[in-house]
Amino acid sequence: MKRGVKSTVTTTTAALIVLGIALSGWLLLNTASIYTLSTPQCLSTFRRAPAPGSRHDYFLPLGYKTNPVNYFNDIVSDTRIYQPDVYNYAAHFATRTPNTWLIDVGCGSGIKAARIYDNSHLPIVEIDFGNNIKLSKASFERTQRFKRTKGNDVMWHEWDVSSGLFPHLDASVVRGATIVASDIIEHLPNPDLLVDPLLGLLEGCGAETLVLSTKHRLPKDDNGPASNIHHVREWSIRELAAYLTSRGANVQECILTNTRVGTTNMGTSTCLVSKRHERFPDMAQVRDYFRDSARVN
């Protein structure tokens, strides 16, 4: 190689290295500044970018019939635990990082989150509205951990999804948090109002993981409406993954998990979503955990 050409290549390489370092520093600075904002301020920094091919039918079958909205209150007298694996699944990721909050959106009676709370070190945020907040507080107050800590590591916030304004959470709570939204989406006339803010918590506010679940629709119910009158619509597991992806979600995978304690009915679609361009290294281990019937409790 001629000396002049070699010199030019060396100079260009050095310039690219300097540019890369400067760009990395800019990204770190701006990411850090975003993740110091509380909600809903940091949500305003997130601009959803739907994937190509987004549709307005939420990826349901053509002609699918929906139910009218019929708001659901958790029934205190019903002691059965539904979607137990969903919360175990979320706790698995939340416990990977010390001092990570579990944000339970649509907490209902709080029974499922209270079980996790009483058997882990996780601090928890419970989000719902109406009578469910009162029911959730009662569930936590019955736990041994709450009696020891006086509840200084659990908090409640009201959020009516239709209002559009996510509740105020400090940046230290959201940053690195795991979000769980268990069987909420099927109750909403416009699920975008739930999904978009939750994706914003990941991309704009620094939350780490989202676990979202809903009932898996069987082929016999493909035309709708759902037999459960409280469900506006129901998705198959493939449709749910396609819908979330269409909203800009980085879906790691969707698996079928147990619907209720005491059964082996794998009828709940559970999707794991992370920040864009991120992959979890232990997905095979997680799949094995939830496909081992001996571990389904």
DSSP code string of 41-94: TGGGG----PPTT--TTTTPPTTPPPPPP------TT--PPBSHHHHHHHHHHH
Give the per-residue pLDDT at 23.
Answer: 46
pTM: 0.80
- Whether residue 156 lies inside any domain: the answer is yes
- Whether residue 179 lies inside any domain: the answer is yes
Tokens 């079958």, located at residue: 61
- Whether residue 15 lies inside any domain: the answer is no
CA 43 and chain centroid, separation: 15
Rounded to the nearest 10°, the torsion over CA 289, 93, 82, 140 is 140
CATH at residue 258: 3.40.50.150
- Whether residue 9 lies inside any domain: the answer is no
In whole angstroms, what is the distance from residue 186 CA to residue 213 CA? Answer: 9
Give the per-residue pLDDT at 260.
Answer: 63
Could you give the count of Cα atoms lying within 13 Å of 47 in the half-sphere of its Cβ?
0
- Whether residue 28 lies inside any domain: the answer is no
- Whether residue 10 lies inside any domain: the answer is no
| Integer CA distances (angstroms), 45 to 54, 78, 131, 267, 289, in order | 22, 41, 32, 36, 36
Domain span at 56? 35-295
In whole angstroms, what is the distance from residue 83 CA to residue 112 CA? Answer: 8
pLDDT of 291 higher than 50: no
- Whether residue 4 lies inside any domain: the answer is no
- The string of pLDDT tens digits covering residues 35-83 is 567 777 888 766 665 555 566 789 999 999 999 988 766 555 455 666 6
| Integer CA distances (angstroms), 238 to 62, 147, 166, 179, 216, in order | 15, 43, 28, 21, 9
Task: Report the domain count for the chain.
Answer: 1
- The string of pLDDT tens digits covering residues 89-128 is 899 989 887 778 999 999 999 999 999 999 999 999 999 9
- Whether residue 163 lies inside any domain: the answer is yes
In whole angstroms, what is the distance from residue 182 CA to residue 82 CA? Answer: 10
pLDDT of 244 higher than 60: yes
17: its two tokens: 């290295």
Q: Which residues contact 16 (CB under 8 A, 6 or more apart)?
A: none
CA 105 and chain centroid, separation: 8
In whole angstroms, what is the distance from residue 154 CA to residue 124 CA? Answer: 5
Residue 166 gets which letter from DSSP? P
pLDDT of 168 higher than 70: yes
